[in-house]
Structure 1
Amino acid sequence: MMQDVWTQLGPTIAAIMFSWTMYQNYFPHELRGHIRRYTDKLVSYFYPYMHIIFHEYESEGWFERSKAYVAIERYLSKNSCTQAKRLKANTVKDGQSLVLTMDDHEEITDEYKGEKVWWISSQKAANRQTIALWKEDDKRYFKLKFHRKHRELITNPYLKYVLDEGKAISVRERQRKLYTNNKGEEGGGYRYRGWRMWSGVLFEHPSTFDTLAMDPNKKQEIMDDLQTFSKSKEYYAKIGKAWKRGYLLYGPPGTGKSSMIAAMANFMQYDVYDLELTSVKDNTELRKLLIDTTSKSIIVIEDIDCSLDLTGQREKNKKKDEEDNKEKNENDAIKEKLKRGEAKENKSEVTLSGLLNFIDGLWSAIGGERLIVFTTNYVEKLDPALIRRGRMDKHIVLSYCCFESFKVLAHNYLDVVESYVHFPEIRRLLGEANMTPADIAENLMPKSSKENADTCLERLIKALETAKEEAKLKAEKEEEEKAKAEKEKEEKEEKKKEVAATEEAKNADKENGDVSKG
């Protein structure tokens, strides 16, 4: 019986294959186009479903996965575990754990407002006749299938819901990162897939505003400012400003500038991009680095006074260089040019103008919701154009430890409160001696298991007394040097006057002698 069936089907299959070959090879392209259109109409009459394709890599962004594809993948992961028969495990950028998604050629269903849709995971094999640049050249995509009568429902609210929910899942499950910029030559001139302008590690700094040694009122002011910024997207759009805010942190070394940045990042749940300006080749690369950052991030340039020649001494340095060049002879000038040529390849060509455009130029509005933080030990050295209001919106002074800051440190390190017996003495000494929070913390930290709060506080009192004496001796020495310098100056003035008087007397005698001879 089965043999008879195959005997009858054989000629039919052969006829179909022959007809298909004739159609492919001999039918004109225009005629095939007409046939295909009418065939599609006929099929759509009996097949009422529509398809939407979401490719893993967009044609214009081949080196980075499509954001829509990634969001859909995260959204579907919640249904994949219960519906798909075959799963694949992926590690997603910034994710805390593995993400299980349906494997290729799997199908799952979803419902939205009572309507059913189908998601199919597929892939299109690459043309193996071409040379593959990467190990995986197959093009993956998601296919969404739904009834055409639900077109408006699916293409508008449903897809928006899927993308928003997928992004929300990514945010909830992501781990924040600390990034640093790669040197230009590390990536070469060609940005291959997987190469990044930034390298990142997990951000695990424990600093918070609770542990930060600072006056509580000042601390609360900064926290309120940050919260207001995070909720002001519509307000910034209304007033026509990019959704970003600049903070300038300045003060002596050891006053907690880096800890402040970490506390801000933990408070806002932002990533941190630590930008090393000296490794940035030029203004163009600086702009690319900005574009490659994400929203909800803090861009940090620490010790900006040391990063580049961005101080207020630009004109003075220029004049000095011109004077030095005039004094050099021709051979020295040639040697200097050769030295400059050798150093030019390793020297950053980022200019003040390029950095200003980075902070508040046209490109600074890309992404939105960013904080830009500069730190410096010597704010007076910076060019005023760099730190004016509007670029660095809030200036935060981090100075020597006050009593309020000390109370925070004492509670954090020793779990003691203000009623402790040593506190009055420490309050008095902090008013008479300058000591940074870092030095205070070092003295408060127990050095062995035998040390208790009394031991640590007594050590701090001795350190404060020593700092007070050293400051007193330093002030006396500076006063002596100042008095000595003034005395030397007066002596020089006296000598000048004596020399001038002697010259004047000689000239007078000479004039009198000439008159007598006449």
Structure 2
Amino acid sequence: MFSPTNMPRSVSTLFSACTTFAGSIMLIRSMEKELIPDELRSYLSTAIPYLFTPLSPNITLVIDEHFGVSRNQVYDAAEIYLNTKISPSTERLKIGKTPKQNTISVAIENGEVVTDVYENIKLTWAYVCTKPENNSDYEETRRFELSFNKKYKEKVMDRYLPHVLKRSEEIKDKEKVVKLYNREWGSINLEHPSTFDTLALDPELKKMIVDDLKRFLGRKEFYKKVGKAWKRGYLLYGPPGTGKSSLIAAMANYIKFDIYDLELTSLSSNSDLRRVLLSTTSRSILVIEDIDCSAQTRDRQQGGDDYDGSNSKLTLSGLLNFIDGLWSSCGDERIIVFTTNHKDRLDPALLRPGRMDVHINMPYCTPQAFSILASNYLDIRDKNHYLYDEIEGLLESTNVTPAEVAEELMASENADVALEGLVNLLKRKHNRKMDPDAVKSTLSNLAFGNVIAAAARDYKKEILAQEKLKSSSSFNEEVDLDELMDDPELEKLHADRIAALKKEAEKREALQRKGHGEYREISEGDFLGEVTGTEKAICHFYHKEFYRCKIMDKHLKSLAPRHVDTKFIKLDSENAPFFVAKLGVKTLPCVILFSKGIAIDRLVGFQDIGGKDDFATRTLEIILIKKGIISEKKDNEDDDCHENSRRTVRSSTNPDSDSD
């Protein structure tokens, strides 16, 4: 350029100078093409503009939705975290709700910007969603762009992003909906209302369980230090109806762990068990209910021939490896829960110290548990009710489950009526336990067996006496019946009869402890244990407002005491949506017949019973007999056989005799 002092004085001089300058430029460009390679020219043309661009003080971190073939954990955490940072100035939001969600979800829309402040550092988040232009085979790509002053890079990487990860986990735990997974790992929301506050357990026992769960969750480093897998095992044992399933639900609701229901009977080999284990997630509860019903887990001393796995590839050793072997280390924060109605049937290997960490006996209803139930169902907060002392006294001497107590308390909203019904139930059970006359219809009292045996003995004596008279040449010949009764064969018949009656009584008592002999209502949580824990079961899916369901209730209630070999239960279809869907219950009443835990047949409505409401109980009984779920009753098994047997043949043929 020319300086002002040397400015040309004429147009011709200026034109000459411009011509000279243009020629120089052309010469330089021609030399550039010959002397500078194309690659260097391209680099210089790109870099030179940056020399004249002011430097930006910010840096931008790009957080893609996927990192390689896996989801980006930072992206997922940011998505949750930023939903809590949405400001009133945000102009566009995405909202949605799935059928299983309880609340509406809110998220930022494409192009929106969210500002966050951490330790006086201003951070700007932008959500960017890019759709493919021409190729529809590719999905849209989503990412977050985090911008901030580059001098804070280390603080953001080392402290802010871990803060986002931690905060997102806290939000997930707070808002998490506990899931219940079945064998195929389909899931439903676990909407079981059981909590430790409402659970009918002794307060000291509940406190022990809660403290144990808290200690387990906070000991990750401890388990790592001692070289053990981060897991905890619980064995829940006790009679049906004592709340084992409710306790599992309360544990899941308390620690927000999903539940995986492992059905051992559906697994054919140890490899199946390993595959199932690998498909479960961390922070979950693995449940094996009624483990005593699995042949592989029973005491080997009771049946060694079945233990070697010849009939099944799923072995006890495979199950033990699942509990505390090498495969138990797959996943963290796992809780394994076994339930059983009969702890004594389990193989000792399952019970050895260190295998199941906590053994919890689920007892019959205690006065403390009753207080919780009375508070839950009747809103009774103190012990001032006039029946309270009587109920507590009866509970001390009577075995009744919390489920039975709850059923009585639900019978009426009037506290007086409900508690009077409970008193009547406890008295019936107490009298059945203490009064020999009250158990004659169940053949569970040995004295009744002796009466039957004595009647048979009198009958034998009468027949022998008649035969002796017929064979005698003189009707005046005296017959010594006492000598006849000393006959060894008759004494053997007498002893065999008593032994048979005693064995039958013991069998019936064992079945009654499992809930046989009465028509009971169960909860959805107890359903699997009830139908798999017995040889035969009849379950009535009902609706409390349906008239025909009430008719079916009446007939099944009448049949239950007559057929003790089969369990009679009912389940409210409104409170059991999972099993209603799984078993395909569409028409009510629906009576499903189970053999060894498998549904073998069903009665739908009244179509199999003639289609009329006024059918006889005997009609239903015959249908169930034909289907093989109950057995035909013999005449001498009726409830009135006791009274008929007391009248001996001799007393009827000789009313004037005063012999005993």
**Could you tell me the TM-score, scaled by structure 1's length?**
0.68
Q: In 2 relative to 1, CA 44–259 (structure 1 residues): closer, same or farther, beyond 3 Å? A: farther
Structure 1 residue 260, shift from structure 2 partner: 1.4
Matches of 2:299 and 2:89 in 1, distance apart? 65
Matches of 2:50 and 2:345 in 1, distance apart? 74
Kept in 2, the 8 Å contact 1:177–1:203? The answer is yes
The corresponding residue for 2:170 is: 168
Matches of 1:93 and 1:396 in 2, distance apart? 37
Matches of 2:183 and 2:45 in 1, distance apart? 53
Q: In 2 relative to 1, CA 220–181 (structure 1 residues): closer, same or farther, beyond 3 Å? A: same
Structure 1 residue 439, shift from structure 2 partner: 1.9
Kept in 2, the 8 Å contact 1:205–1:262? The answer is yes
Structure 1 residue 485, shift from structure 2 partner: 10
Kept in 2, the 8 Å contact 1:276–1:307? The answer is no
Structure 1 residue 301, shift from structure 2 partner: 1.5
The corresponding residue for 2:18 is: none
1:56 to 62, 65, 73: 65
2:411 to 426, 439, 446: 446
The corresponding residue for 1:206 is: 193
Q: In 2 relative to 1, CA 123–426 (structure 1 residues): closer, same or farther, beyond 3 Å? A: closer
The corresponding residue for 1:104 is: 110
The corresponding residue for 1:153 is: 155
Of the structure 1 ranges 104-113 and 257-266, higher mean CA displacement relative to structure 2 is found in 104-113
Q: How many residues align?
A: 418
Kept in 2, the 8 Å contact 1:116–1:146? The answer is yes
Partner deviation per Cα, 1:197-222 (whole Å, 9 max, x = no partner): x3322222222333333333333222
Structure 1 residue 426, shift from structure 2 partner: 3.8
Kept in 1, the 8 Å contact 2:178–2:253? The answer is no
Partner deviation per Cα, 1:400-442 (whole Å, 9 max, x = no partner): 3334333433443344554544445444544444222222322
Structure number with greater Rg is 2
Q: Please provide the CA RMSD for this pair.
A: 4.2
1:474 to 430, 441, 444: 444
Matches of 1:485 and 1:124 in 2, distance apart? 92
Kept in 2, the 8 Å contact 1:180–1:273? The answer is yes
The corresponding residue for 1:234 is: 221
Three-state SS of the structure 2 residue aligned to 1:459 is helix
The corresponding residue for 2:264 is: 277
The corresponding residue for 1:317 is: 305
The corresponding residue for 1:14 is: none
**Could you tell me the TM-score, scaled by structure 2's length?**
0.54
One-letter amino acid of the structure 2 residue matched with residue 58 of structure 1:
F
Structure 1 residue 56, shift from structure 2 partner: 1.6
Structure 1 residue 252, shift from structure 2 partner: 1.5
Three-state SS of the structure 1 residue aligned to 2:222 is helix
The corresponding residue for 2:234 is: 247
Please say if 1:262 is aligned against 2:249: yes
One-letter amino acid of the structure 2 residue matched with residue 74 of structure 1:
I
Relative contact order, CA 8 A, sep 6+: which one is greater? 1
Partner deviation per Cα, 1:457-508 (whole Å, 9 max, x = no partner): 43223332354245696242798699999944999xxxxxxxxxxxxxxxxx
Structure 1 residue 81, shift from structure 2 partner: 4.3
Kept in 2, the 8 Å contact 1:429–1:464? The answer is no
2:145 to 143, 146, 165: 143
Structure 1 residue 160, shift from structure 2 partner: 1.0
Segments of 5+ residues of structure 2 without an aligned counterpart are: 1-36, 454-490, 500-660
Three-state SS of the structure 2 residue aligned to 1:80 is coil
Structure 1 residue 250, shift from structure 2 partner: 0.8
2:427 to 447, 462, 465: 462
One-letter amino acid of the structure 2 residue matched with residue 73 of structure 1:
E
One-letter amino acid of the structure 1 residue matched with residue 316 of structure 2:
L
Matches of 2:222 and 2:234 in 1, distance apart? 19
One-letter amino acid of the structure 1 residue matched with residue 119 of structure 2:
K
One-letter amino acid of the structure 2 residue matched with residue 67 of structure 1:
Q
1:380 to 314, 326, 344: 344
Of the structure 1 ranges 118-127 and 88-97, higher mean CA displacement relative to structure 2 is found in 88-97
Matches of 1:129 and 1:200 in 2, distance apart? 35
Kept in 1, the 8 Å contact 2:449–2:498? The answer is no
Matches of 1:241 and 1:44 in 2, distance apart? 59
Three-state SS of the structure 2 residue aligned to 1:368 is coil
Considering fraction of residues, name the structure with more helix: 1
The corresponding residue for 2:366 is: 402
Q: In 2 relative to 1, CA 396–454 (structure 1 residues): closer, same or farther, beyond 3 Å? A: closer
Kept in 1, the 8 Å contact 2:412–2:418? The answer is no
The corresponding residue for 1:76 is: 82
Kept in 2, the 8 Å contact 1:402–1:430? The answer is yes
Three-state SS of the structure 2 residue aligned to 1:101 is strand
Matches of 1:232 and 1:123 in 2, distance apart? 41
Q: In 2 relative to 1, CA 216–161 (structure 1 residues): closer, same or farther, beyond 3 Å? A: closer
Structure 1 residue 228, shift from structure 2 partner: 2.3
Q: In 2 relative to 1, CA 460–317 (structure 1 residues): closer, same or farther, beyond 3 Å? A: same
One-letter amino acid of the structure 2 residue matched with residue 56 of structure 1:
E
Matches of 1:55 and 1:454 in 2, distance apart? 63
Q: In 2 relative to 1, CA 219–169 (structure 1 residues): closer, same or farther, beyond 3 Å? A: closer
Please say if 1:66 is aligned against 2:68: no
Structure 1 residue 254, shift from structure 2 partner: 1.3
Structure 1 residue 85, shift from structure 2 partner: 2.9
Matches of 1:365 and 1:258 in 2, distance apart? 26
Q: In 2 relative to 1, CA 154–95 (structure 1 residues): closer, same or farther, beyond 3 Å? A: farther
Structure 1 residue 321, shift from structure 2 partner: 9.6
Matches of 1:317 and 1:477 in 2, distance apart? 38
Three-state SS of the structure 1 residue aligned to 2:88 is helix
One-letter amino acid of the structure 2 residue matched with residue 79 of structure 1:
K
Matches of 1:68 and 1:378 in 2, distance apart? 48
Three-state SS of the structure 2 residue aligned to 1:452 is helix
Matches of 2:278 and 2:53 in 1, distance apart? 44
Structure 1 residue 71, shift from structure 2 partner: 1.0
Partner deviation per Cα, 1:152-195 (whole Å, 9 max, x = no partner): 1121111111221222222222323333231xxxxxxxxxxxxx
Matches of 1:304 and 1:431 in 2, distance apart? 30
Please say if 1:393 is aligned against 2:357: yes
Partner deviation per Cα, 1:354-402 (whole Å, 9 max, x = no partner): 4333323344345433321111112222233334332310111113333
Q: In 2 relative to 1, CA 35–83 (structure 1 residues): closer, same or farther, beyond 3 Å? A: farther
Kept in 2, the 8 Å contact 1:75–1:162? The answer is yes
Segments of 5+ residues of structure 1 without an aligned counterpart are: 1-26, 183-197, 323-339, 341-346, 492-518
Structure 1 residue 80, shift from structure 2 partner: 3.4
Partner deviation per Cα, 1:110-137 (whole Å, 9 max, x = no partner): 22222222222223444854746xxxx1
Kept in 2, the 8 Å contact 1:121–1:143? The answer is yes
Partner deviation per Cα, 1:238-264 (whole Å, 9 max, x = no partner): 322222211000111112111111222
Matches of 1:217 and 1:292 in 2, distance apart? 36
Three-state SS of the structure 1 residue aligned to 2:228 is coil
Kept in 1, the 8 Å contact 2:176–2:256? The answer is no
Matches of 2:396 and 2:493 in 1, distance apart? 31
Three-state SS of the structure 1 residue aligned to 2:164 is helix
Three-state SS of the structure 2 residue aligned to 1:299 is strand
Of the structure 1 ranges 359-368 and 106-115, higher mean CA displacement relative to structure 2 is found in 359-368
Q: In 2 relative to 1, CA 487–212 (structure 1 residues): closer, same or farther, beyond 3 Å? A: same
Kept in 2, the 8 Å contact 1:444–1:460? The answer is no
Matches of 1:422 and 1:275 in 2, distance apart? 43
Q: In 2 relative to 1, CA 181–70 (structure 1 residues): closer, same or farther, beyond 3 Å? A: farther
Matches of 1:240 and 1:36 in 2, distance apart? 61
